[in-house]
């Protein structure tokens, strides 16, 4: 163990970081030691699971100057929650306590240090990412373990690569070419020629780069134009999925044409949202809830047509628009579960069903199929005795299984699935939008001295601290119709998030403002008081 190498990646004394919604995330200046130590932890996790583990250097939707790290478990899912506390212990150990902390984890997990581990490393396009991923590689090699540096990849590509490696290729070939081949082969639809090209906002990030790489594999089956491809603008600045969703407006740099569909990726291409302008120039957003509805409706219809009796569920978070939940439960009659923010929570909840469709409203999501569901679908698709109708449904379900990246939300794979569903069903973006009407909503951020002052329960829908906050929210919500509001500390930014929905946009805006004010006054707001 060459632990002395950690001296090349020293921890600023006294700096304490919190493991957040998707790993550590803060200003890139504070992350060198974190990356080295996450290299150590990934190697330990790889030894413990006797599998390849992934480390992705990215701060996704955050501004360019931030960075972060996401750890990927053997089947491509986010690292087991139990290991998050080891990540925190290692990250926050002062320099002279690092070796003891490492040994404690090895002892507690009874890790055999004899076997060599393998860690896959990837990074986004941030300026700081190259050096930070080198720190991860240094961490791995200081324990004498092996790594493979995939360089620039989207987060979901790294998740895919890890799963392929650990399933001996049965999930796909563990290479970027394998990823492009798998997805483009499953994207088997013939798109109608009268479809306008899809306008893709790449958030000036890695997603744009990878769409260019994928283009030849698609063999012109998807016509698209790329904007914000990173050649000039700044990452996530006035563009990208988070900007479009939160601001409820189109990104800069995309030439919108009334009625034509556009989509935005986020900074590491694990989220996607769609939108269009109507002829009057009004912006219409189709977020993760609309995507979940489109995909789950499609799958449900195919299951019926194929004669397959599989349980389908949709998993959402508190941010899901009330109309979407109502539509899914009452019109589509599917099971809907609500869990805490964070893909790890949605993913695990979705795995309880034969087919689990999960999406956060911010556009982060995918579909997971149980082994048995996959077997039944594949078996049926290969059955020569089926009627044409059933056969075509079974084959489309099989293509769907292959098209989705089951490891995590994936903007590219989700986009291809959405394009396929729209083409197969002959739906325009406006017709998709009309499946249900969103309740007007607003999201705001409030700065407080310490966001840990806010604690929540009931899948983050109610605040348990600070005292009096939930009562204040209840009182405010009671003044509006069809209203709902909740607050929660962000796990990726140093803010408290406020969500509100109501019968009109003006009311949703007022409600969000009043709740922000309550947060500011009761939870230690700093800086300027929120303004209407
Ligand atoms: C990450 C998580 C998402 C979460 C988002 C915002 O996304 O993977 O599950 O919704 O952060 O989290 P919070 O509200 O706690 O800041 P990304 O795309 O930024 O990695």
Q: Which domains does the chain have, with CATH numbers?
A: 3-172 (3.40.120.10), 181-285 (3.40.120.10), 288-433 (3.40.120.10), 441-522 (3.30.310.50)
Q: Which atom from ligand 1 is nearest to the alpha carbon of 268?
A: 18
Whose CA is closest to atom 9 on ligand 1?
Answer: 342
When the pLDDT of each residue in the chain is averaged and rounded to a whole number, the result is 96
Nearest alpha carbon, ligand 1 atom 14: 490
Q: Which residues, 6+ apart, have CB-to-CB distance to 131 below 8 Å? A: 32
pLDDT band at 264 (very low <50, low <70, confident <90, very high): very high
Q: How many angstroms separate the alpha carbon of residue 249 from the centre of ligand 1?
A: 20
Q: Which of 18, 19, 20, 22 to mutate to test the pocket of ligand 1 (most atoms within 8 A of CB)?
A: 22
Active site residues: 60
Q: Per-residue pLDDT averaged across 438-443, rounded?
A: 97
> Hey, whose CA ends up nearest to atom 1 of ligand 1?
22
Mutate to test the pocket of ligand 1, among 81, 240, 341 (most ligand atoms within 8 A of CB): 341
pLDDT tens-place string over residues 160-217:
999 999 999 999 999 999 999 999 999 987 555 567 899 999 999 999 999 999 999 9
Residue 190 is predicted with a pLDDT of 59
SS3 5: helix
For the CA of 346, the closest atom of ligand 1 is 9
pLDDT tens string 269-286: 999 999 999 999 999 999
Evaluate whether 457 touches 470 at the Cβ level (below 8 Å). no
pLDDT, average across residues 120-131: 98
**Annotated binding site: which residue ranges?**
60, 266, 268, 270, 360-362, 488-492, 497
3-state secondary structure of 225: strand
Q: How confident is the model at residue 314 (pLDDT cuts 50, 70, 90)?
A: very high
3-state secondary structure of 433: helix
Phi, psi of 201 (to 5 degrees): -95, 115
Kindly give the distance from the C-alpha atom of residue 448 to the centroid of ligand 1, in angstroms, as a whole number: 19
Q: Quote the ligand 1 centre to 166 CA distance (angstroms).
A: 26
Ligand 1 atom 17, closest CA: 60
Q: Quick check: 288 and 360 in contact, CB under 8 A? A: yes
Average confidence (pLDDT) over 352-356: 98
Q: Provide DSSP, 139-207.
A: HHHHTT-EEEEEEE--HHHHHHHHHHHHTTTSS--SSHHHHHHHHHHH------TTSPPEEEE-TTSHH
Q: Which residue's CA is the closest to the ligand 1 atom numbered 18?
A: 60
**How confident is the model over 516-526, as a mean pLDDT?**
97
Position 220 confidence tier, pLDDT thresholds 50, 70, 90: confident
Q: What is the pLDDT at residue 191?
A: 58
Q: 172, 190, 218: which is closest to 406 by C-alpha? A: 172
Which residue has the CA at smallest separation from atom 3 of ligand 1? 342
Distance between CA atoms of residues 397 and 336, nearest Å: 21
Nearest atom (ligand 1) to Cα of 70 = 20
Q: Detail the residues annotated as belonging to a binding site for substrate.
A: 360-362, 488-492, 497
Distance 1 CA to ligand 1 centre (A): 35
The Cα 391–Cα 314 span in angstroms is: 25
Ligand 1 closest atom vs CA 344? 9
CA of 227 to the centre of ligand 1 (A): 23
CB-defined site of ligand 1, < 6 Å: 21-22, 60-61, 266, 270-271, 341-343, 360, 362, 364, 490-493, 497
Ligand 1 centre from 349 Cα, in Å? 17
Using CA atoms, how far residue 78 sits from 22, 347, 354, 407, in Å, is 8, 9, 20, 9
Structure tokens at 300: 């449900």
Q: What's the complex ipTM?
A: 0.97
| Tokens matching residue 280 | 């009057």
For ligand 1, atom 6, the nearest C-alpha belongs to 492
Cβ density class 128-143: b for 16+ within 10 Å, e for less? bbeebbbbbbbbbbbb
Ligand 1 centre and the CA of 447: distance in Å? Answer: 18
Q: Each residue of 463-501: pLDDT tens digit?
A: 999 999 999 999 999 999 999 999 999 999 999 999 999
User: Which residue out of 155, 487, 491 has the highest number of ligand 1 atoms within 8 Å of its CB and is therefore the one to mutate?
Assistant: 491
What contacts 331, CB < 8 A, 6 or more positions away?
436
Pocket test for ligand 1, best of 58, 84, 492 (most atoms within 8 A of CB): 492
Tell me the CA–centroid distance for residue 306 and ligand 1, in Å: 36
CA-nearest residue, atom 4 of ligand 1? 342
Q: What pLDDT, on the 0 to 100 scale, is given for residue 194?
A: 61
Residue 109's pLDDT is 98
d(CA 388, CA 395): 10
The atom number, within ligand 1, closest to the CA of 493 reads 16
58 Cα nearest atom in ligand 1:
20
Distance CA 305, CA 311 (A): 15
Alpha helical stretches, state H, 50-148: 84-92, 98-108, 129-142
> Which pLDDT score is estimated for 188?
80
| pLDDT at residue number 230 | 94
The CA–CA distances, whole Å, from 262 to 128, 187, 259, 348 equal: 30, 19, 9, 30
> Half-sphere exposure of residue 86, counting CA atoms within 13 Å on the CB side?
24
Annotated binding site for Mg(2+): 60, 266, 268, 270
Which pLDDT belongs to residue 3?
Answer: 78
Q: Which atom of ligand 1 is nearest to the CA of 155?
A: 20
| pLDDT grade for 388, boundaries at 50, 70 and 90 | very high
Instruction: Measure 21 CA to ligand 1 centroid, in angstroms.
Output: 6
- Cβ–Cβ under 8 Å, residues 136 and 145: no
- Cα 522 from chain centroid? 31
**Closest to 225 (Cα-Cα) out of 193, 200, 208:** 200
pLDDT at 436: 97
Tokens of 33: 């030691």
């Amino acid at each position: 163990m060459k632990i002395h190498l950690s001296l090349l990646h020293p921890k600023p004394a006294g700096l304490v970081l919190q493991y957040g919604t998707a790993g550590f995330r803060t200003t890139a200046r504070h992350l060198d030691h974190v990356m080295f130590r996450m290299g150590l932890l990934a190697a330990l996790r790889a030894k413990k699971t006797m599998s390849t583990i992934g480390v992705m250097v990215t701060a996704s939707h955050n501004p360019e100057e931030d960075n972060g790290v996401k750890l990927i478990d053997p089947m491509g899912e986010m690292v087991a929650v139990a290991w998050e506390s080891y990540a925190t212990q290692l990250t926050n150990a002062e320099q002279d306590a690092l070796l003891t902390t490492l040994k404690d984890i090895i002892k507690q997990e009874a890790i055999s240090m004899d076997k060599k581990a393998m860690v896959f490393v990837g990074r986004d396009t941030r300026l700081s990412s190259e050096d930070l991923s080198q720190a991860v590689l240094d961490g791995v090699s200081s324990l004498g373990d092996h790594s493979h540096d995939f360089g620039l990849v989207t987060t979901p590509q790294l998740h895919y690569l890890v799963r392929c490696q650990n399933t001996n290729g049965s999930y796909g070939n563990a290479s970027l070419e394998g990823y492009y081949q798998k997805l483009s082969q499953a994207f088997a639809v013939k798109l109608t020629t009268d479809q306008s090209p899809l306008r893709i906002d790449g958030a000036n990030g890695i997603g744009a780069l990878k769409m260019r790489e994928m283009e030849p594999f698609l063999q012109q089956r998807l016509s698209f134009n790329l904007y914000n491809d990173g050649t000039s603008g700044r990452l996530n600045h006035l563009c990208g999925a988070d900007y479009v969703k939160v601001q409820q407006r189109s990104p800069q740099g995309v030439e919108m044409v009334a009625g034509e569909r556009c989509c935005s990726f986020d900074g590491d291409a694990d989220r996607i949202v769609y939108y269009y302008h109507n002829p009057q120039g009004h912006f219409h957003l189709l977020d993760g809830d609309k995507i979940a509805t489109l995909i789950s409706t499609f799958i449900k219809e195919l299951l019926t047509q194929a004669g397959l009796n599989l349980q389908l569920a949709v998993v959402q978070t508190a941010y899901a628009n009330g109309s979407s939940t109502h539509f899914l439960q009452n019109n589509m009659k599917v099971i809907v579960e609500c869990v805490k923010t964070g893909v790890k929570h949605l993913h695990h909840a979705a795995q309880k069903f034969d087919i689990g469709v999960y999406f956060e409203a911010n556009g982060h999501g995918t579909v997971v199929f149980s082994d048995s569901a996959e077997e039944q679908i594949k078996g049926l698709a290969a059955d020569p005795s089926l009627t044409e109708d059933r056969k075509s449904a079974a084959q489309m379900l099989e293509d769907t299984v292959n098209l989705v990246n089951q490891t995590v939300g994936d903007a590219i794979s989700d986009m291809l699935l959405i394009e396929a569903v729209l083409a197969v069903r002959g739906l325009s973006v406006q017709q998709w939008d009309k499946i249900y009407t969103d309740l007007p909503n607003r999201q705001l951020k409030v700065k407080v001295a310490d966001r840990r002052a806010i604690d929540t329960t009931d899948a983050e829908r109610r605040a348990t601290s600070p005292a009096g906050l939930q009562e204040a929210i209840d009182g405010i919500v009671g003044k509006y119709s069809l209203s709902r509001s909740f607050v929660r500390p962000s796990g990726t930014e140093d803010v408290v998030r406020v969500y509100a929905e109501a019968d009109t946009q003006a009311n949703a805006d007022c409600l969000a403002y009043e709740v922000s004010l309550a947060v500011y006054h009761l939870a230690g707001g700093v800086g300027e008081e929120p303004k209407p």
